[in-house]
Structure 1
């Protein structure tokens, strides 16, 4: 047997560190201290494992235990849309938003349009979303809608939101100017929610001027997010929402770990610190905003 030299032998400490990092990525954050009643303005229950009544109940029981009393679960495609509507009927703490994500815009055929319109007649479906523009994925994914397809689908969803009288939930990735121009050209519905806002102060100021709600996720807590934090400071209280976008965007110091709605109080505290206000006060007005914007009937 050939014996390995010390240089060839695995570094036990390095292997251990890698293993620890891998385990950390799989470990959910600890339960946060509640800050008051909250609404998760945007999550994905199915992607968090909530694909049947019992698993949805478990996720929402966990969230309610730390003060998150309701969630809006959001669709990316038609399969997700059906799951979201089902979840909203499985548990009174879940509400649904349905649309085709801009990367799936090429799937918006007549059958999908008819089904989405039917879903939006359901009182448990409280928003058209998420829709908008995504300039990041075209060219990186073979299964991504083209920009013309995205623009056409976005315009259709804007019209749909106006026809059904429900909020429009916006996905925007690297498309600030074009997205705002489409909304201006088509005419915004009464309520527009900029999901997981990621813009700078200039974009935030224009959204505020138009009366759009800006929803902040765990990214606002990241140490590197100084531009986003500056934008968060200028949003008036009555136009502010918070969300998890779970299972993505877990807030600091748990970035990269699994996210669920129960993690929302961490983001509430981080955003309150950025804005210089008590977290309990922020929790109060963001919850009032979510109830008003979505027309929630919380028990």
Structure 2
């Protein structure tokens, strides 16, 4: 059993600023972080799972969906969810990991592990799965499609949600969902499309989860997408430790920074922050169930 107080890996530090940003003003209406990777250590002083959750709770982020991307991180995610009531888990083989498992002749085995983990009561999603044509070349596409389709079937088999990773593969992801049949609760994690794609997703009943990159200056497509997404289909996430929102871009990210993105989204939508928080919380519970 993986120890959720430890880490699966450490994020590369490089030359970036690894100081933790100051905690934002607390939200008055609690929300949830719909997608994070707390198994990845980051920051000048890495924080334990318990420390991350306590800090998040102090600013009104009362629960997280901890997402896996390979066997080790999926096991860690499931263990974290079973050990703390503020955590639900998503488990999967990430599309960029699928080709490596396939080359080693272990993709079927890996998917079987995900199947077993998905049977646990606090694993509430298959994710993150999908297609990534940015980091993986054509030689890896067959493995990605095989893995994605298998994960779709797992979400339907277990009656849980699915979190999609979609990078430079919008048309192929939508076509696959149509052809195979999407799970009842399908979430585009860290939505990266434009307004037209957002409309297409909303028409199909999919949820769109927005991360800190919606605040980036060069991300007008995401703000356009947010503006046309039905309120009952919007989620918020960090994708921590990545995609830290402005004004902290490049520094370590964590669930306690969700309020920064929520306030930005509320301003973009012309909504009161409390109103948006209530909607986001309701949407999260509709997708994943009660914590």
Q: TM-score, normalised by structure 2?
A: 0.89
In the alignment, structure 1 residue 73 sits paired with structure 2 residue 71: no
| Alpha-carbon distance between aligned partners in 2 of 1:241 and 1:48, rounded to the nearest angstrom | 25
In the alignment, structure 1 residue 251 sits paired with structure 2 residue 251: no
Q: Is the 8 A contact 2:25 2:259 kept in 1?
A: yes
| Corresponding residue pairs, total | 269
Q: Is the 8 A contact 1:102 1:145 kept in 2?
A: no
In the alignment, structure 1 residue 268 sits paired with structure 2 residue 262: yes
Question: Unaligned stretches of 5+ in structure 2?
Answer: 1-14
Name the structure 1 match of 2:88.
Answer: 95
| Alpha-carbon distance between aligned partners in 2 of 1:78 and 1:211, rounded to the nearest angstrom | 30
Q: Is the 8 A contact 2:93 2:111 kept in 1?
A: no
Q: Which deviates more from structure 2 when the two are superposed, residues 190-199 or residues 223-232? A: 223-232
Q: Is the 8 A contact 2:33 2:237 kept in 1?
A: yes
Name the structure 2 match of 1:12.
Answer: none
Q: TM-score, normalised by structure 1?
A: 0.86
| Alpha-carbon distance between aligned partners in 1 of 2:118 and 2:271, rounded to the nearest angstrom | 37
Q: Deviations over 1:98-126 (max 9, x none)?
A: 00000111325332222211111111101
Q: Deviations over 1:244-287 (max 9, x none)?
A: 00000000011001100000000000111111111111111101
1:171 alignment partner, one of 162, 165, 174: 165
In the alignment, structure 1 residue 150 sits paired with structure 2 residue 166: no
User: Using a 3 Å threshold, how does the CA distance of structure 1 residues 93 and 180 change in structure 2: closer, same or farther?
Assistant: same
Q: Is the 8 A contact 2:70 2:94 kept in 1?
A: yes
Q: Deviations over 1:208-256 (max 9, x none)?
A: 0000000000011112211210110011111000000000000001100
Root-mean-square deviation (Å): 1.8
> Residues 232-247 of structure 1: matches in 2 within 5 Å?
232-247=226-241
| Alpha-carbon distance between aligned partners in 1 of 2:143 and 2:153, rounded to the nearest angstrom | 16
2:50 alignment partner, one of 57, 60, 65: 57
| Alpha-carbon distance between aligned partners in 2 of 1:273 and 1:34, rounded to the nearest angstrom | 17
| Alpha-carbon distance between aligned partners in 1 of 2:264 and 2:63, rounded to the nearest angstrom | 20
| Alpha-carbon distance between aligned partners in 2 of 1:34 and 1:282, rounded to the nearest angstrom | 14
Q: Is the 8 A contact 1:105 1:145 kept in 2?
A: no
Name the structure 2 match of 1:225.
Answer: 219
Name the structure 2 match of 1:25.
Answer: 17
| Alpha-carbon distance between aligned partners in 2 of 1:223 and 1:68, rounded to the nearest angstrom | 25
In the alignment, structure 1 residue 136 sits paired with structure 2 residue 134: yes
Question: Unaligned stretches of 5+ in structure 1?
Answer: 1-21
| Alpha-carbon distance between aligned partners in 1 of 2:115 and 2:133, rounded to the nearest angstrom | 26
Question: Segments of 4+ in structure 1 off by > 3 A?
Answer: none
* C-alpha displacement of 1:97: 0.3
